[in-house]
């Protein structure tokens, strides 16, 4: 009987985690068969695969920026999941989708533990974690390979906070030690981890309740934070040039655009305007206002709401979202892509708010069934929405449909049609892009390729020249104009352009090869 009782006790402790992981896996399983969207994931897995396949870069990432496009940031741990995945699956997209999924399931399970540590009873904590596991607004973070950075960050942040709450209750050394370890790991993944410097004291002031300790319990964490941040700044300075923290004008740009917070909030509660490339200009704020009214009503009628934890959840949402909204020129904010994967960590604050509103209803007979129905609907919405991320064409078709005024959406949709050989549709999307933004990079180069392949050399030359006026150091435009001249027998001009291509990009193998074949090198 003792053995059977012990087994039942373990099952009782484990079943919430099995339920969370099982539901999340059921919703996201099909992403394992998805390809690339060609929004940054092609840069990661194609252009920079040499970085991922070298396991030594797990250590070299601390000494140098491995991906040139992210040269302003010191994030040595951010590529670790992808580097480890590359050792197992090479360039196959499925292994990276699996990595994102496993991290997502781990984050959802850690959220269940974290909510329990915050004092929510087991049923409410489980519902919060299940909501997180299937929330449609988080689909892009899990299904889009580069979005996995935010999932990885959230795993580390939740681990840090679980140990912090253990320390807050006990005052013991080891929980504090592990809190600082995970805080350091999170900081080395993404700078947004610095928000923990505000979240931890806010817990004491707003959400600690009966577990509240004297203010002196914060003295040791503050000392640890200062040590970690000083070391981080010192090492960062040797690797990365540029400011480590947010510029004041960028922060103002964030604060002056409350509509963005409303848009994101609406996507959490009423996820009916999801988009791969959302902008304020093309996104209706109606869902945000309706979501605000719905949650406000829930809180108004709730009899057991606590204002401290409510404020804690709201500030969590705002503070973790704020760095993603930093944009130095508020006048241009309407055209900036407000990517949904940035909601991954801030959404936990909304869950805390919802749990406070639901607390007064938790004891009612029909509450579990009603909450389960909402979670089931959200799971279905996520399952359907995931098809947007199936491949590059479905992704950019959805982006252009949802954001018709965004030039990047039409440019990249044109590029996907171009790669698929549908040149008529490609040309149509390129001209739509030019109408939206005449200076959009790469568009004239791509039009030049279409006309060159059709034998319309004069129009092609005009397009390549337009591209180079806008982007004089664009290596592919230099190379393609040289290729056009070579087709016309103008080899001397072609060689000059290929030499210029190699000055701009010494690794341009096609330019090097043609230059040698033409006798110019």
| Full DSSP string of 281-341 | TTS-SHHHHHHHHHHHHHHHH-SS--HHHHHHHHHHHHHHHGGGG--S-GGGGGGS---GG
266 and 334, same domain (yes or no)? yes
Collect all residues with Cβ–Cβ distance below 8 Å to 8 and sequence separation of at least 6: none
385 and 400, same domain (yes or no)? no
375 and 436, same domain (yes or no)? no
307 and 450, same domain (yes or no)? no
Place of tokens 């090492």: 235
Confidence (pLDDT) at 134:
98
Collect all residues with Cβ–Cβ distance below 8 Å to 407 and sequence separation of at least 6: 433, 436, 437, 440
- H helices then E strands: how many in the chain? 26, 0
What is the SS3 string spanning 143-180? HCHHHHHHHHHHHHHHHHHHHHHHHHHHCCHHHHHHHH
Task: Decide if 6 is inside a domain.
Answer: no
Collect all residues with Cβ–Cβ distance below 8 Å to 422 and sequence separation of at least 6: none
Closest C-alpha among 357, 461, 443, 353 to residue 407: 443
378 and 454, same domain (yes or no)? no
Closest C-alpha among 281, 282, 293, 285 to residue 261: 285
Terminal-residue alpha carbon distance, the chain: 84
Closest C-alpha among 116, 314, 114 to residue 206: 314
355 and 435, same domain (yes or no)? no
Task: Decide if 2 is inside a domain.
Answer: no
Domain stops at, among 339, 370, 389: 389
Closest C-alpha among 156, 159, 152, 186 to residue 175: 159
Confidence (pLDDT) at 248:
45
**Total domain count for the chain?**
2
Collect all residues with Cβ–Cβ distance below 8 Å to 519 and sequence separation of at least 6: none
Domain stops at, among 342, 372, 389: 389
The distance from CA 249 to its chain's CA centroid, rounded to whole angstroms, is 23
Task: Decide if 376 is inside a domain.
Answer: yes
Domain that holds residue 350: 15-241+250-389
Q: What is the dihedral of CA 499, 502, 508, 509, to 10 degrees?
A: 50
Quote the crossing angle between the two packed helices 307-321 and 258-269, to the nearest 10°. Answer: 110
Closest C-alpha among 59, 349, 345 to residue 190: 345
85 and 195, same domain (yes or no)? yes
385 and 397, same domain (yes or no)? no
Confidence (pLDDT) at 515:
86
347 and 464, same domain (yes or no)? no
Q: Are 81 and 148 in contact (CB under 8 A)?
A: yes
Q: Are 123 and 72 in contact (CB under 8 A)?
A: no
Task: Decide if 3 is inside a domain.
Answer: no
Q: What is the chain's pLDDT, residue by residue, as a tens digit (521 residues)?
A: 466 767 667 777 789 999 999 999 999 999 999 999 999 999 889 888 988 999 999 998 888 877 655 557 889 999 999 999 999 999 999 999 999 999 999 999 999 999 999 999 999 999 999 999 999 999 999 999 999 999 999 999 999 999 999 998 888 999 999 999 999 999 999 999 999 999 998 998 887 765 555 556 778 888 999 999 999 999 988 888 666 555 444 454 555 578 889 999 999 999 998 999 998 889 999 999 999 999 999 888 887 778 899 999 999 999 999 988 875 444 444 567 889 999 999 999 999 999 998 877 776 778 888 899 999 999 999 999 999 999 999 999 999 999 999 999 999 999 999 999 999 999 999 999 999 999 999 999 999 999 999 999 999 999 999 999 999 999 999 999 999 999 999 999 999 999 999 999 988 888 889 888 877 66
Collect all residues with Cβ–Cβ distance below 8 Å to 512 and sequence separation of at least 6: 498, 502, 521
Task: Decide if 5 is inside a domain.
Answer: no
Confidence (pLDDT) at 329:
44
Give the C-alpha separation, 334 to 330, whole Å.
8
Collect all residues with Cβ–Cβ distance below 8 Å to 18 and sequence separation of at least 6: none
365 and 460, same domain (yes or no)? no
Q: Are 333 and 257 in contact (CB under 8 A)?
A: yes
48 and 185, same domain (yes or no)? yes
Collect all residues with Cβ–Cβ distance below 8 Å to 48 and sequence separation of at least 6: 66, 67
178 and 284, same domain (yes or no)? yes
Domain of residue 465, CATH code = 1.25.40.10
Task: Decide if 9 is inside a domain.
Answer: no
Confidence (pLDDT) at 368:
84
Domain stops at, among 328, 362, 389: 389
Task: Decide if 10 is inside a domain.
Answer: no
DSSP code of 29?
Answer: G
Q: Are 414 and 429 in contact (CB under 8 A)?
A: yes
Collect all residues with Cβ–Cβ distance below 8 Å to 169 and sequence separation of at least 6: 211, 213
Task: Decide if 467 is inside a domain.
Answer: yes
Query: Residue 21 has which token pair?
Result: 């992981």
């Amino acid at each position: 009987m003792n053995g059977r009782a012990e087994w039942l006790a373990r099952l009782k402790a484990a079943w919430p985690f099995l339920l969370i992981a099982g539901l999340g896996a059921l919703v996201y399983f099909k992403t394992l068969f998805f390809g690339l969207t060609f929004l940054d994931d092609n840069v990661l897995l194609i252009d920079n695969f040499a970085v991922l396949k070298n396991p030594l870069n797990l250590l070299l990432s601390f000494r140098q920026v491995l991906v040139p496009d992210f040269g302003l940031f010191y994030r040595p741990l951010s590529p670790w999941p992808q580097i480890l995945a590359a050792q197992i699956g090479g360039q196959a997209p499925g292994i990276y989708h699996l990595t994102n999924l496993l991290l997502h399931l781990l984050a959802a399970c850690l959220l269940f533990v974290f909510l329990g540590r915050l004092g929510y009873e087991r049923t409410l904590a489980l519902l919060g974690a299940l909501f997180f596991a299937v929330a449609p607004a988080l689909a892009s973070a899990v299904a889009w390979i580069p979005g996995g950075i935010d999932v990885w960050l959230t795993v580390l942040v939740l681990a840090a906070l679980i140990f912090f709450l253990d320390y807050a209750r006990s005052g013991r050394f080891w929980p504090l030690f592990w809190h600082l370890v995970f805080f350091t790991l999170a900081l080395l993944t993404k700078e947004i981890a610095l928000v923990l410097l505000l979240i931890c004291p806010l817990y004491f002031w707003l959400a600690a309740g009966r577990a509240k300790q004297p203010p002196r319990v914060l003295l040791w964490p503050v000392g640890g934070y200062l040590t970690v941040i000083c070391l981080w700044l010192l090492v960062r300075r040797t690797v990365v040039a540029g400011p480590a923290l947010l510029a004041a004008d960028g922060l103002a740009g964030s604060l002056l655009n409350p509509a963005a917070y409303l848009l994101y909030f609406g996507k959490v509660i009423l996820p009916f305007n999801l988009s791969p490339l959302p902008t304020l200009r093309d996104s209706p704020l109606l869902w945000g206002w309706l979501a605000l009214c719905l949650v406000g009503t829930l809180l108004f009628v709730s009899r057991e709401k606590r204002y401290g934890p409510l404020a804690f959840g709201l500030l969590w949402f705002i503070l973790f979202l704020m760095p993603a909204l930093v944009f130095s020129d508020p006048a241009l904010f309407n055209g900036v892509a407000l990517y949904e994967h940035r909601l991954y960590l801030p959404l936990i604050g909304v869950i805390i708010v919802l749990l406070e509103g639901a607390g007064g209803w938790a004891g009612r007979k029909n509450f579990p069934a009603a909450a389960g129905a909402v979670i089931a609907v959200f799971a279905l919405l996520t399952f359907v929405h995931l098809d947007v991320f199936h491949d590059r064409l479905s992704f950019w078709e959805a982006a252009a449909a949802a954001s018709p005024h965004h030039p990047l959406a039409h440019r990249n949709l044109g590029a996907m049609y171009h790669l698929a050989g549908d040149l008529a549709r490609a040309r149509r999307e390129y001209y739509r892009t030019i109408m939206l933004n005449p200076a959009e990079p790469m568009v004239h180069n791509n039009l030049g390729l279409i006309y060159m392949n059709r034998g319309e050399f004069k129009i092609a030359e005009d397009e390549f020249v337009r591209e180079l006026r806008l982007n004089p150091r664009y290596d592919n435009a230099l190379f393609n104009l040289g290729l056009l001249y070579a087709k016309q027998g103008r080899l001397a001009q072609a060689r000059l352009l290929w030499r210029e291509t190699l000055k701009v990009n010494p690794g341009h193998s096609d330019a090097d090869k043609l230059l040698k074949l033409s006798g110019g090198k």
